Structure 1
């Protein structure tokens, strides 16, 4: 990905935090039919030099065949993002030489996928993913709440994916290239538009 130095972040902690906060990754593979991409929720653990991603997808999904043969795949995680109008810039009022842009945070992770058919692994995967997402709820749902024959049938309909990450790239494009007065304007404008998460990242990443 295009990486101007002011937007690049190689921190493993920052990258992993974004993946955990926005776990729906776009899984990209290349196969006989060309490029394929599917959005899939991932779990991340910290083992290995860059971490390991775990997920599952429908057995009927043709991307599974690409994964069996793939030497490498890419998973793209997208964090907060949003349009930035030049109207928020102090420099618009000073000289007018400004253009719109887009602020965003993203992490790209590469690795060699392993397809897993083991039923125990698959049950653990869906149980772990469910428990993580249900934890904040007052009455969390668990896989065990569903009838056992139904769960068994569902497990037969999926395959597992484990990706040992070999390299990552992180990019937080958060107006760091703008003058301080412009950055303050972006933060105020985003907050006024109800984009509090993105405004907070702009403030954090641009030192405000």
Structure 2
């Protein structure tokens, strides 16, 4: 998706002092009935320019295949569009030199807020029938800090969502209601294999919900 230049300039200015790398646009048809909302791109996504093209993407594709969905059927985006990283330094015991790495990290609330105009623009433009926030960062951005994926995954929630105010100072609830279906982030299964069955069940329920709108 192409974003208004003034929004891009605003987001770039607000993030200039944050430890962020690259930029990844949302991908998918602009008339998609389903919007998947992730957390932020990782190293692989910044290189390939494809959302969820790393390890988590493989898990996402597996779940989509199980329910006969493909990426062409949906729009994929994230609440933060650049890769958040932290600087990690260590001394190489063999060489004695200091080595620096930049692993991924969870985006801060300030970073999520700085990118808020872009996800708001996407939702207003696409008007998806269903929004599926994947993981806590996306869910909290849309519905508030009291919501967690562990408590609300697999549930159909029809209610207003949060969008950034015109002066960018606070989040405000939308006048209209949206159908929200929280699911675990695809990467969750990489750290907790016991979630595999639950995640698959949620995807089947999401697929049935998508079919109801077709």
Q: TM-score range by the shorter chain?
A: under 0.3
**Given the two structures, how large is their TM-score scaled by the length of structure 2?**
0.26
Greater length-normalized contact order (CA 8 Å, ≥ 6 residues apart) = 1
**Given the two structures, how large is their TM-score scaled by the length of structure 1?**
0.27
Which protein has the bigger strand share? 1
